[in-house]
Amino acid sequence: MNIYGASGHAKVIIDIARSKELSIDLIFDDNTDVNFLDDSVVVHEVSEMMKKSKTVIAIGNNTIRKNVAENFTGNIIDAISHSSAVLSSTSKIGKGTVVMPNACVNAATTIGEHCILNTGSTVDHDCALEDFVHISPNAAIAGNVIIGTGTHIGIGAVVIPGIIIGKWVTVGAGAVIINNIPDFAVVVGNPGKIIKYSK
């Protein structure tokens, strides 16, 4: 497999690959100042060989990851998960999504494409996460929650059951979400309060 991006997120994907005994063929980054990652050479040009094999987009920023995914003409890898992650056999996880160590996805949950379920995060039963969502470390998403495209749930945030969170929402670290959140809102605190809109 290939990795598109050579930052901290890529380092975690390397660990995921090792946990599953997957080989890494190429690591690409457009930053020509980055020449090595974890003792591997970083290339600065997307070759035809890279396009022919499966690639994971290792970019933490949801907007940038979406732009890259929409413009990348190669093959995207199926969802990958660390060997310590717990995935229900009834969950569905879209291509390009990365599930990091000790994350948990419970029954009848659907995760979109190019999502990040970060270290120790939990997504409970019957949830639906759209594409390009990022659930940060130790965030807890209770059952029957819907999260819109591009939303970022901050470290340690908690979302109670049955909540609907819109598209491109930012939920701050440690926030407790007890009400539905509209598109583009920025929410912080306990209980979560909207402090502004990003658009």
- Backbone phi, psi, residue 53, to 5°: -105, 165
Token code pair at residue 46: 């997307």
Instruction: Tell me how far apart the alpha carbons of residues 17 and 80 are, in angstroms, rounded to a whole number.
Output: 8
Distances (CA, A) of 62 to 87, 149, 153, 159: 23, 9, 11, 20
| Residue with tokens 């029957």, as numbered in its chain | 144
Q: Is 125 a catalytic residue?
A: yes
> Which is catalytic among the residues 44, 82, 114, 125?
125
Active-site residue list: 125
